[in-house]
Each structure stands twice: as C-alpha cells, then as structure tokens.
C-alpha cells in the first residue's frame, strides 16, 4: 500500500544511496538503484534529488558527520597538555577500526569530488571542519597540514591494505607539529 504521508522518505533515500554506494560503488548509484533500495517509487528519488549529484551531496554530508561525531565524542582537544599528535593518531585508529565498509564508503564519496564538482564544497566542509577543531591548538596553516596528513594516512591504509600503525602516524603528525613550532 502506498505511503500517503511519509516525512522520513527523503532520509530513507539518502540512507539507501549510502547503502548502494557501499555495496556497488559510485558506479552503481542511480535513481533507479536507490529507489529500489529505499523501496520508494522512482519519482520520489527525482522529486527529492533532481540530480545524482544532489543525492551524492546529501550522502557525503551525512557520512562526513560520522568522523566529526567521533572526534567530538573523544574530547582531548580542550586540554593544552594533551599530546595532539597522539590524540590525532588515536582518532585515525578509532575511525579505521570501525565498520570497514563505512570507512571505504566515506572515502569513496569524498574522492568522488575529483570528478564531480558539486561534491567539492562538501568535501571541503569536512576538511575545514576538522581544521577548525585543530586550530585552537595550533595555527590555521598547521591545522590544514594535519588534516592533509590524516587524509593521506587513511588513504594509504585503505588502498594498500597495510594495517594501521598508530605509532607511525603519531610520529608523522608530531613532526608536522614540531616543524610548525619552529
């Protein structure tokens, strides 16, 4: 029986898009595949998201929230005595030890911005958000450099299949911080 009032439909479509990308990759994402996954009429996906780019923006924005929530829940940034390199290395380890499919999905959507300009502002929001969290503990340029190192370490682990080495990450991040200190 069709749903007449369905205030959660838009969110179900976003969740379905995330599941489709998680199982089939970006190449498997279409309005039709998402409608089938969300169990909604095809017209609902195009009503809420005129283009696939709009749908991917919503999916990327939602997946970006995962890392930000994890960082916010860890704390540690408020105390200036906390070893920032160790804290960041711990965050990376926590994120990478989570659901592997979810981590890969976040990276795939993030990297999709290379070919889809509509996704670039959302990818930048993630980088800016993490840099903003780090900026009170260092200068803005170093905060951006730390985000770049975090991105690089995560991509290396995901792409090479090499286990995450938290001590290595801490050392690399500490070197960036030491270079900034002078």
Q: What is the CATH number of the domain that holds 90?
A: 1.10.357.10
Q: State residue 62's pLDDT score.
A: 85
| Same-domain check for residues 73 and 138 | yes
Mean pLDDT, each 10-residue run in order, the chain (182 residues): 72 94 89 96 94 91 76 73 91 83 79 88 87 88 94 92 94 92 67
Q: Are 64 and 117 in contact (CB under 8 A)?
A: no
User: What's the total number of domains in the chain?
Assistant: 2
Q: State residue 1's pLDDT score.
A: 46
Largest distance between two CA atoms of the chain = 67
**62 in any annotated domain:** no
User: In sequence order, which residues have a C-beta less than 8 Å from that of residue 26 and are 6 or more positions away?
Assistant: 56, 108, 109, 112
In the chain, % helix, strand, coil (3-state, to 5) comes to 80, 0, 20
User: In sequence order, which residues have a C-beta less than 8 Å from that of residue 139 and are 6 or more positions away?
Assistant: 180
- Domain holding 5, by residue range, is 1-50
| Same-domain check for residues 31 and 94 | no
Distance CA 155, CA 17 (A): 22
Q: What is the CATH number of the domain that holds 22?
A: 1.10.10.60
| Same-domain check for residues 84 and 172 | yes
| Same-domain check for residues 82 and 149 | yes
| Same-domain check for residues 73 and 39 | no
**59 in any annotated domain:** no
Q: State residue 45's pLDDT score.
A: 94
| Same-domain check for residues 160 and 135 | yes
| Same-domain check for residues 31 and 76 | no
């Amino acid at each position: 029986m069709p749903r007449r009032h369905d205030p959660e439909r838009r969110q179900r479509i976003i969740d379905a898009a995330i599941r489709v990308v998680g199982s089939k990759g970006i190449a498997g994402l279409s309005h039709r595949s998402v409608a089938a996954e969300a169990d909604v009429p095809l017209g609902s996906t195009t009503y809420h998201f005129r283009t696939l780019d709009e749908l991917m923006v919503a999916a990327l924005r939602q997946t970006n929230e995962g890392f930000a929530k994890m960082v916010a829940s860890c704390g540690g940034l408020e105390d200036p005595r906390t070893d920032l390199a160790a804290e960041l290395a711990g965050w990376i380890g926590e994120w990478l030890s989570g659901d592997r499919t979810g981590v890969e999905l976040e990276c795939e959507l993030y990297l999709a911005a290379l070919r889809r300009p509509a996704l670039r502002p959302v990818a930048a929001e993630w980088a800016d958000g993490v840099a903003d969290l780090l900026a009170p503990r260092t200068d803005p340029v170093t905060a951006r450099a730390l985000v770049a190192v975090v991105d690089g370490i995560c991509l290396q682990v995901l792409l090479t299949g090499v286990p995450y080495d938290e001590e290595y990450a801490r050392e690399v991040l500490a070197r960036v911080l030491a270079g900034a200190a002078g």
